[in-house]
Amino acid sequence: VLHTTRPLHTTQQCSAPLPPLPEKGGEVRYGLIPEEFFQFLYPKTGVTGPYMLGTGLLLYLLSKEIYVVNHETVAAACILTVIIYGVKKYGSDVAAFADKLNEEKVAKALAVKNEAIKDLETAIEQEKKEQWRVEGRSYLFDAKRNNIAMLLETNYRERLLTVYNEVKKRLDYQVAMQNLKRQKEQDHMIQWVEKNVVQSITPQQQKESIAKCILDLKALSKSAQAAV
């Protein structure tokens, strides 16, 4: 049976945006009792009100044996000691660990965003640089043109040098040929003259020259002896 007065669809039917989580949890006294309880009793009973209530309740339960002190009490005391010790000692570390996990999660997402932003900024700068490069295009082409002209010029000069060298080689050859011919003629002439001279020396002349030589030697030896 559906009461027609019951309101239907009173929420907003949309999850987003989620309300943010509160930064700190509710204030709690002695780890169990929320502060609101103390604030609730404060106007009527003041500061000690809730404590009196707690003490009274505990004493009532104990004295009327509604709560019986038996072995479970001791066991309860022990396990509570262990729990409270654990919470006090490691509580803040565990909380810091949980916070760190959340921080890492957020940091990873932020890192992705920052990486993307950085990449896009680098892309923008590179694009601007490319645009600047485009402006210098004419200078580039002029330089290239100059290079090509220089290359052509160099090539032309090299070929000119080659031509010059070739021509010089040919002319040097001709000059060398002429010199050789002249040399050969000279040598041949000298040989022919010497041959004829040697042939013309008769035996009579040979004897006369040998006798003259002996006379000269004698004269020389006399002068030499006198020198000694």
Partner 1 sequence: MNLSFFDQFTSPCLLGIPLILLSMLFPPLLLPTPGNRWITNRLSTLQLWFFHLITKQLMIPMNKTGHKWALMLTSLMVLLITINLLGLLPYTFTPTTQLSMNMALAFPLWLATLLTGLRHQPSISLGHLLPEGTPTLLIPALILIETTSLLIRPLALGVRLTANLTAGHLLIQLISTATTALLPIMPAVSILTTSILLLLTILEVAVAMIQAYVFVLLLSLYLQENI
Q: Which residue ranges make up the site for partner 1 (CB under 8 A)?
A: 15, 18, 21, 68-76, 78-79, 81-82, 94-95, 97-99, 101-102, 105-106
Residue 49: CB minimum distance to partner 1, A: 28
Q: In this structure, what are the phi and psi dihedrals at residue 32, rounded to the nearest 5 degrees?
A: -130, -40
Residue nearer to partner 1 on the CB measure, 107 or 215: 107
Least distance from C-beta 40 to partner 1, angstroms? 25
Q: Work out the number of other CB atoms within 10 angstroms of the CB of residue 34.
A: 13
Residue 105: CB minimum distance to partner 1, A: 7
SS3 content of the chain, % helix, strand, coil (to 5): 80, 0, 20
CA–CA separation, 88 vs 10, rounded Å?
Answer: 43
Least Cβ distance, residue 99 to partner 1 (angstroms): 7
**Closest to partner 1 by CB, 81 or 179:** 81
Q: Which is nearer to partner 1, 7 or 22 (CB)?
A: 22
Residue 28: partners with Cβ closer than 8 Å, 6 or more residues away: 34, 35
**Nearest distance from residue 106's CB to partner 1, in Å?**
6
Instruction: Tell me whether residue 31 or residue 136 sits nearer to partner 1 (CB atom).
Output: 31
| Whether 66 contacts 60, CB under 8 Å | yes
CB of 25 to partner 1, least distance (A): 8
Residue 70 or 199: which CB sits closer to partner 1?
Answer: 70
Instruction: Output 18 or 198, the one with its CB closest to partner 1.
Output: 18
For the chain, how far is it from start to end, CA to CA, in angstroms? 174
C-beta of 2 vs 106, nearer to partner 1: 106
